[in-house]
Amino acid sequence: MADPRFFRVAGPFSLGQLADIAGAMLSKAADPDRLITDVAPIGTAGPSELGFLDNSRYLPALEASQAGACIIDPRYAPRAPETMDLLLTDAPYNGYAKVAQAFYPAAEIAGDIHGTAIVDPSARIGEGTRLGPYVVVAPRVKIGARCRIAAQVVIEEGVVIGDDTEIGPGASLSHCLVGNRCLLHPGVRVGNRGFGFSLDPEGYRDVPQIGRAIIEDDVEIGANSTIDRGSGPDTVVGAGSKIDNLVQIGHNVQIGRACVLVAQSGVAGSTILGDRVMLAAQAGVAGHLTLGQGARVAAKSGVMRDVAPKQTVCGIPAIPIKRFFRLVSIWHRQLKS
Amino acid sequence: MADPRFFRVAGPFSLGQLADIAGAMLSKAADPDRLITDVAPIGTAGPSELGFLDNSRYLPALEASQAGACIIDPRYAPRAPETMDLLLTDAPYNGYAKVAQAFYPAAEIAGDIHGTAIVDPSARIGEGTRLGPYVVVAPRVKIGARCRIAAQVVIEEGVVIGDDTEIGPGASLSHCLVGNRCLLHPGVRVGNRGFGFSLDPEGYRDVPQIGRAIIEDDVEIGANSTIDRGSGPDTVVGAGSKIDNLVQIGHNVQIGRACVLVAQSGVAGSTILGDRVMLAAQAGVAGHLTLGQGARVAAKSGVMRDVAPKQTVCGIPAIPIKRFFRLVSIWHRQLKS
Amino acid sequence: MADPRFFRVAGPFSLGQLADIAGAMLSKAADPDRLITDVAPIGTAGPSELGFLDNSRYLPALEASQAGACIIDPRYAPRAPETMDLLLTDAPYNGYAKVAQAFYPAAEIAGDIHGTAIVDPSARIGEGTRLGPYVVVAPRVKIGARCRIAAQVVIEEGVVIGDDTEIGPGASLSHCLVGNRCLLHPGVRVGNRGFGFSLDPEGYRDVPQIGRAIIEDDVEIGANSTIDRGSGPDTVVGAGSKIDNLVQIGHNVQIGRACVLVAQSGVAGSTILGDRVMLAAQAGVAGHLTLGQGARVAAKSGVMRDVAPKQTVCGIPAIPIKRFFRLVSIWHRQLKS
């Protein structure tokens, strides 16, 4: 059971309800009226709880599990204990996500402005929006309805934020437009001056960075990640994209829709990622490149050239992943000889 | 045009004025009295706007451009549309920097101390310095004149900051001396306890970190970057150096003058970088090394040995870059055979 | 001498006292009653000061040193100037740590709650705990005795913190339990929503992250590092572990006791590190792996497979370090031919 200090569980739900929610089929022997009280990891779930299996590494945990029920791909069903009821689906993780959202719905937050929040009179705050303690909202900012702005967030002049967006403690935003339903984690920095300067006899000369950072709808940005504003063009993070912790996005970068950038990855200035591009952890992409729709970059890789749509690349410098692993096996052969 | 919610444009300026500012020569057909209203990216600039071209990747954008004028290297001039006036210089990016600074001069900020800033009575704040909301200034801090300290910055005991330095929201400084005209971005952490401990039968024993972090004049430090203080010797960032976002500088590191450390790079303890050393993105340098003046480290490289002055290294472990690319071509040959 | 603006030196101590503190043996000619006023780097220490030597790179500095005394391994003793008194031990860095702690004991901090700290009435704060300016403590939080919570820390609902723990400026904690004697540096983010979502016809669907982050006793977490909470299981950082700056710990990760994670390293979700595992700087470990007790990962390496206890791995993908360096020498041979 999730720690009640942090989470409030809804339910119980019947197996039949849960199968509907998950878009899954109940196994034959299951009683659709049986009540399930919670979700839990398959290794620790008890007889009234529901687990899920999405990764074959955890088959031994499934076999030893006491869980009352499990959301599972039909091909793994034979490995489940006989007494376990099964919710069969070929997308068990998505089924689990739906069920877990039913057990743990987002908390309703009262829309109030804390007495210590400083809001410039020229700023506009939408209905139902919550501003936490010590939030600072500068002149001409617009924040939509039902946003949750946590303690000590700083929103600088002219920033526009849509509806239903959540911002974690200590984040700061400047020179940016943020869409609806975004989630910005603690310590996120959006709209910073980009790293732009020219060589000059007297040293480096800063190039004014006069673009914006545009964060479209449904974007998530992880803790302490940094998104610089454009130098003239805008920096853009496309709708539905997911950015993990400690990620760096340089100025003028254009990230398409539904991209995934895993922790500690980075994209250098003016590079364009098509829709659904994925950068695994600690990957880096050089500046002024284009990665086509659905391209993927393996963890720790360094991309120095354009990547074709749907291509997966790996290595430093990154090459098509099959070639990379062929190279690795050549190395292993060389080590043996 | 830059978004007026965030930027105020000056001007207009005549082509003749702009050529003077840029240190460029006007193309023959150009009318020096023609007025230019703004700078803009070459791909989107209109007939009254000025673009620049600094990278041959953007020649197609130049050819299709509607820009009234362009700052450009003479060798690319033949590629410009005939109707476009040209400002010819062999340093077009630096010319653009100067012109953009003319159109977008730094905003004047009133020097006031926000009513919620907490300033210890023993601290000294110079004339014209602005302290934003919820700034905390500890005992015996000294801040020079005309500084801009944004909301929620924390400046701990004894810290000294020069004149005309700017610090972004949520940054924190301790055990450090910061020079004049520095720019510290949001979330920067300077003067943290270094990562120093010894093995001990009872566990790790913290070694007191009794040095400082010295940030010399004209240094820029990017968002959420971390600079540890020295363990006994000081950590030093030399004058004019540029540090990007999410960079890590370990204790006792000495960074020379005018170095450039690109995003997510890191330098381990006690390493010395000479003047004008450049670390590209996600590069790392091991501890106790010396990189000579003008040395360069390619993106994602890992430096395990000293690097000679002006040498460029690449790879993990890093080797001279020509050797690295020779190695890459050997690999590609092996893949073919 | 350490800068008195930041540090207060205790002492003086006699050589005899210092030898006792360090667990070292005095060299024959040394006068145990001679007074030493401070510690200092061996290169800059004066006749009344004590240095240490722990790395043979600094032997030239030793030979030229004016230090009155030095903590040193007996094998390097012949390299010391004749006039220098020696504290001989085969663990000179640990000896130095003890002596430096004697000269620079932790400052006593008055346990007061700043007038601007916002503490929910349902929160419990232990005796002697200091809350700095603008700290925010949410409902049902429990903080133990003698903690030092710096300015602008945000502690969200239900969080529990033990005794004698220190948290730097601007850090934020949610959904976590933190032990005794921990040290969380500025800007640390603990308990963030993990990076968990499933593919769904309508886009990515967030998977509720209903686990916690458990930070056991004596853990250090470096500036701007991020520790996500579990998705169901907890994320755990074992007792005595040391985490450097800008490190990323994904959801459900289990870090054993006395592990060391150097700057900018990262561990992906659900991976298990045994006790005393070490990740060098910028290393990364993929998800769902197990690294055995005492395993080590070299800097910048990328671990894609389980690592056996006490094994050291290197490279991308990481292989046993001897094999990696054999591979490097094969490459060097290929470059010559």
DSSP C230-282: PSSSPEEE-TT-EE-TT-EE-TT-EE-TT-EE-TT-EE-TT-EE-TT-EE-TT
Give the dihedral of Cα atoms C178, C179, C182, C187; nearest 10 deg: 0
CB C196, CB C231: distance < 8 Å: yes
Band (pLDDT 50/70/90 cuts) for residue A1 is confident
pLDDT for the residue B108 = 78
Q: What is the mean pLDDT of chain A?
A: 96
Assign B277 to helix, strand or coil: coil
For chains A and C, CB pairs below 8 A equal: 171
CB C182, CB C225: distance < 8 Å: no
pLDDT for the residue C109 = 76
Band (pLDDT 50/70/90 cuts) for residue B1 is confident
pLDDT for the residue C211 = 96
Assign B327 to helix, strand or coil: helix
pLDDT in tens, C267-326: 999 999 999 999 999 999 999 999 999 999 999 999 999 999 999 999 999 999 999 999
Q: Is A316 near chain B, with CB under 8 Å? A: yes
Burial of B126 (0-12, 13-18, 19+ CB in 10 A): middle
Assign A207 to helix, strand or coil: coil
Identified catalytic residue from C114, C175, C185, C251 = C251
CATH number listed for the domain at residues A171-322:
2.160.10.10
pLDDT in tens, B22-48: 999 999 999 999 999 999 999 999 999
- Which residue, among B264, B275, B332, would best test binding to A if mutated, counting the most A CBs under 10 Å from its CB? B264
pLDDT for the residue C17 = 97
Tell me the average pLDDT across B55-63.
Answer: 93
pLDDT in tens, B88-128: 999 999 999 999 999 999 887 778 999 999 999 999 999 99
List the one residue out of B5, B52, B64, B15 whose CA is nearest residue B37: B15
Q: How many CA atoms lie within 13 A of B63 on its CB side?
A: 7
Q: Is the pLDDT assigned to residue C263 strictly greater than 80? A: yes
Tell me the chain C residues in contact with residue B302 when contact means C-beta distances shorter than 8 Å. 282, 299-300
Q: Is the pLDDT assigned to residue C25 strictly greater than 80? A: yes
Tell me the chain A residues in contact with residue C208 when contact means C-beta distances shorter than 8 Å. 97, 100-101, 103-104
For residue B21, what are the contacts with CB-CB under 8 A and spacing of at least 6? Answer: B13, B98, B99, B102
CA–CA dist C274, C309 (Å, integer): 8
Q: Is A197 near chain B, with CB under 8 Å? A: yes
Q: Is B201 near chain C, with CB under 8 Å? A: no
pLDDT for the residue C201 = 83
Q: Is C39 near chain B, with CB under 8 Å? A: yes
Q: Is the pLDDT assigned to residue C108 strictly greater than 90? A: no
Structure tokens at C76: 């390097």
Tell me the chain C residues in contact with residue A258 when contact means C-beta distances shorter than 8 Å. 203-204
pLDDT in tens, B153-196: 999 999 999 999 999 999 999 999 999 999 999 999 999 999 99
For residue A327, what are the contacts with CB-CB under 8 A and spacing of at least 6? Answer: A315, A319, B331, B334, B335
What is the tally of helices (H) and strands (E) in chain B?
Answer: 4, 39
Instruction: Kindly list the partner chains of chain B, i.e. chains with 3 or more CB atom pairs below 8 Å.
Output: A, C
pLDDT in tens, B287-332: 999 999 999 999 999 999 999 999 999 999 999 999 999 999 999 9
| Residue B251 is a catalytic residue | yes
CB–CB of A152 and B133 under 8 A? no
| Closest CA of chain B from A93, distance in Å | 33
Q: How many CA atoms lie within 13 A of A227 on its CB side?
A: 36
| Closest CA of chain A from C242, distance in Å | 19
Structure tokens at A142: 């617009």
Tell me the chain A residues in contact with residue B168 when contact means C-beta distances shorter than 8 Å. 172, 189, 192
CB–CB of B168 and A170 under 8 A? no
Query: Was domain A13-103 assigned CATH 3.40.930.10?
Result: no
| Closest CA of chain C from B146, distance in Å | 23
DSSP for residue A8 = -
pLDDT for the residue B203 = 87
pLDDT for the residue B258 = 97
Structure tokens at B165: 């330095």
Q: Is the pLDDT assigned to residue C181 strictly greater than 90? A: yes
pLDDT for the residue B156 = 97
Taking the model in full, what pTM does it have? 0.96
A43 to chain C: nearest residue by CA? C233
CA–CA dist B263, B272 (Å, integer): 19
Domains of chain B: which residue ranges? 13-103, 171-322
Q: Is B25 near chain C, with CB under 8 Å? A: no
pLDDT in tens, A316-335: 999 999 999 999 999 999 99
Q: Is B299 near chain A, with CB under 8 Å? A: yes
Within 10 A of B209 (CB to CB), how many other CB atoms are there?
A: 25
Q: Is A56 near chain C, with CB under 8 Å? A: no
CB B22, CB B87: distance < 8 Å: yes
